[in-house]
Structure 1
Amino acid sequence: MNVHAPLPSGPSLAQQIQHAAQCLRGVQAGRSLTELLPAVPAALRPGVQAIAFHALRQAGLSAALVRLLAARAPTPAVRTLMQVALSLMPAVCVADGDPRYDAHTLVNQTVQAAKAERDTQAQAGFVNACLRRFLREAEALLAEARRDPVALWNHPAWWIRRVQQDHPQDWQAILRANNRPGGMALRVNRRQGTREAYQQQLQALGMGAHPVGEDGLVLDQPVPVDRLPGFAQGSVSVQDPAAQQAAPLLLAGQAWPAGARVLDACAAPGGKAAHLLERAELDLWALDADAQRCARIHDNLRRLGLTARVRHADAGRPADWWDGQPFDAILLDAPCTASGIVRRHPDVRWLRRESDIAQLAAVQRELLEALWPLLRPGGRLLYATCSVFRAEGDAQVQAFLERHTDARRGAAPGHLLPGRAGSDKQFNDNAPGEHDGFFYARLDKSAA
């Protein structure tokens, strides 16, 4: 997303930098942007979000630059203010789509932001001196900073090592893709019309889009959802092309009778459940362990004109919710590190710890073990995670197959890597352009 200099009548750049720095400080303290952004004043929020996203994508480099510029470690408030400013500098913003600001304007506005906050007022002169030194010595400072892999790739050191280990041929492409914003992809509700007809509606409004997958369109330029024709009436949903693969992979290759029992075990916010219902007449159960997220499932289904049995329940404890009747198919989009969707959630890489991988892999294993007995003989389970780490993908599935002789692996692409890096060729033939990182494995249960 481009960040353009605001009009004089709008929020000042200094205000946006100030709030973006507060968001960055919150992430460094362990809070997610999803939690932090609602506290930003509504008029400032779009610009602050764009700047904060960009600052997080450059946080490894900007932190290294601050260390080079400051003889003593500044306070967190001063450090994050400088990080935001440095991430926006023209010498740093070299890729297409990066923000574009005049360097001297940035220095001026950052100093104004420093003066406007009690925690940074006394250090406004220090901020000014450091940023002006960067303007004079940018080339040398950047070369020195990028000797650190964390600064070069803008990921934690453990994350870089793990991706190198898991994807030795593609690790650089994965990390580069993570530092580019994801496009805006739509899923057309085939119950309300065809993808081709919706594409024509977009074109009539001056919005270019190209097909992706079986039901998707990728917009040439992102737009607010209220500008999408028929969005409020359920004609279309926003969903990444990789996530759009779940429904076709689960339903592929057989005719599903009306009323077939299907479980979406970790369903919130409901995008994959809705896609299943758009494609088949199912008796769909949609579970989630979070009551507030269950409300989002209800809201999404209502907008799309779809019906499911939504349950606030822990999928790992079937005794609390299961009626004893086996399911024909199960979708398990399991809790994971979200390492595949950092294009859209750039704070994730800085919030995760390496120990989270093993902890979440244990949760995934428990869910697989709890749900497999609920599947009828001859049924299928689609295991999915939005992760690029093999412990949450291939390794998890191989271990499951070793434990269960009544399971075999069906047709599914395995690891889909972000930005098409090393991803399944057949998938990419049907999904031109970039997509999030995902993992899919279909586990078929023997009929005997």
Structure 2
Amino acid sequence: MQLAPDSLAFALNHAARALAAVRAGTALPAALAALFATIEVPAARGAIQDIAYRTLRALGRADALVATLVRKPPAAPVANLLTCALALLSDEPEDAAYAPFIVVDQAVHAVSTQRDARPMKGLVNAVLRNFLRSRDTLLAQIMSNPVARWNYPLWWIDQVRAAWPAAWQNILLTGNTHAPMTLRVNQRRSTVAAYLEVLHAANIPAVAAGPSAVRLLRALPVERVPGFMQGVVSVQDASAQRAAALLEVHNGMRVLDACAAPGGKTGHLLELADIDLVALEADQARAQRINENLNRLRLTATVCIGDAGTPKEWWHGQLFDRVLIDAPCSASGIVRRHPDIRWLRRSTDLTALANEQRRILAALWPLLKTGGELLYATCSIFPTEGELQAQWFESKQQDAVRLTAPGQLLPSTTLPGSDSNTDDHDGFFYARFRKQ
């Protein structure tokens, strides 16, 4: 039996497959891209993506419910389908994407189309109906498990609590919210005020969120964002937009943007001044994203393929006035955008990433002119990738003077009733140094 591509059953089946891929170590965007390549009806993709993201934001809770409600775990395809369905059913009623009875009906229908899983129809139906009958009791029961309560691996919860004892709960809760769609206005083409007028004329609600930032109050596909395809705006979180301003670039400067893909900060730097910019990226496929963004913005840079930690392979000896190191990191500050990250990372990754960050910092500092400035950035909330790295670098490099910078920006979300337009941003760390 073939499922209709516009049915919830179809979406549940494919979201369960995406979840299986993530459990096997594949990043969610890559897992979805592989699935979408096999789906001929583009309209079906939105529901699949939404369910997959909802499931990963609630994975600790949903897995705990499966373990509580099912004595003997079923085979992976059925278990993952149950996980997706329970993630939907356990959402707060005001956030629910579907009526409960529809989720149950369509989950059973989805199982009935899987030849090997058809005998499990009764189990799926019973488990989901049992949950609905005892919803409040079951949810209260699993809340004693921190993984179920916060929807993060235990090691992650422990790390955040140790690093930020006064803010750890807010950090974890913010990571489970939906990130806003924040735009960066190309200062060569428009201003925040002028672009807000364009949005108002198009009946798109938005607010100013920074010197170049506009936040849409309702996310849109990029092709429907006025001026996006023409390079008037780019999608970039407000925290990430801080980088270009901190570098204080001026016309004629030579600038290195290391680890540059997908090119958001590269484009922003070029929007602010006429500079000679080298955008360095180790991965050739990701470097293509830089070129695509530059073409859309009608800007030019030298895109170079190479390892930031081994400059001898790509550097031609000309020193830089500014160096931006957007270093590889845990991405723990952007988990609301990428909820799969928390489940893919391991605690041992932090040590390996910290070593890689130090390797890159040490390798690129000699490429900076005397009097030049280096900006170290990570989209992380873990001190081992932030403040501790900045302190290590300052102690290691005798000619490095630490300058004013934001330091750790903890992830923040706009609360209902808030009057602030600038407090909705990802977690980021910035440290700035001048070579004396």
Structure 2 length-normalised TM: 0.95
Alignment of structure 1 residues 360-371 onto 2, 5 Å? 360-371=353-364
Once the two structures are TM-superposed, the CA of residue 235 in structure 1 deviates from its matched residue by 0.6
Work out whether residues 282 and 305 of structure 2, in 8 Å CA contact, stay in contact via their aligned partners in 1.
Answer: yes
- Structure 1 residue 445 displacement after superposition: 1.3
Structure 1: segments with no counterpart, 5+ residues: 1-7, 422-427
Instruction: State the one-letter code of the partner of 2:81.
Output: L
**What does 1:288-437 correspond to in 2, within 5 Å?**
288-419=281-412, 432-437=422-427
Deviation at 1:228, TM superposition (A): 1.4
Q: Output the amino acid matched with 1:106.
A: V
My pick for the range that moved more, 405-414 or 303-312, is: 405-414
Distance 1:265 1:101 in 2: 44
1:189 aligns with 186
Q: Alpha-carbon deviation of 1:95?
A: 7.1
Check whether the contact 1:213–1:430 (CA below 8 A) recurs between aligned residues.
Answer: no
Is residue 2:22 matched to residue 1:27? yes
Partner of 1:444: 434
Decide whether aligned partners of structure 1 residues 433 and 10 sit closer, same or farther in structure 2, where only a CA change above 3 A counts: farther
Q: Secondary structure at the match of 1:44?
A: helix
In 2, are the aligned partners of 1:24 and 1:80 still within 8 Å (CA)?
Answer: yes
Structure 1 residues 43-442: aligned runs within 5 Å: 43-89=43-89, 92-94=90-92, 98-251=95-248, 256=250, 258-419=251-412, 432-442=422-432
The two structures, once aligned, show a CA RMSD in angstroms of 1.8
Cα deviation digits, residues 396-427 of structure 1 (max 9, x gap): 11111111121121111111111169xxxxxx
Cα separation, 1, equivalents of 2:163 and 2:44: 40
Maintained 8 Å contact 1:341/1:437: yes
| Shift in Å, 1:43 | 2.9
Q: 2: CA distance between counterparts of 1:430 and 1:107? A: 40
Aligned residues of 1:241 and 1:431 also touching (Cα < 8 A) = no
User: Deviations 1:80-121 (Å, cap 9, x if unpaired)?
Assistant: 1111111111xx22275x233221221111000111123422
Q: After alignment, is 140-149 or 411-420 more displaced?
A: 411-420
Q: In 1, are the aligned partners of 2:5 and 2:11 still within 8 Å (CA)? A: no
Shift of 1:65: 0.5
**Between 271-280 and 188-197, the greater mean CA deviation after superposition:** 188-197
Shift of 1:430: 8.9
Structure 1 residue 122: Cα displacement: 2.2
Structure 2: tracts of 5 or more residues without a match? none
d(CA) in 1 for partners of 2:113 and 2:262? 39
User: 8 Å contact 1:77–1:119 — kept in the other structure?
Assistant: no
Matches of 1:9 and 1:71 in 2, distance apart?
Answer: 32
* Cα displacement (A) at 1:213: 1.7
Matched residues, percent identical? 49
Contact 1:88 1:101 in 2 (8 A): yes
In structure 1, distance between residues paired with 2:412 and 2:420 = 14
Number of positions where the alignment pairs a residue of Structure 1 with one of Structure 2: 426
Which one-letter code corresponds to 2:234 in the other structure?
Answer: S
Give TM-score, length-normalised by structure 1.
Answer: 0.92
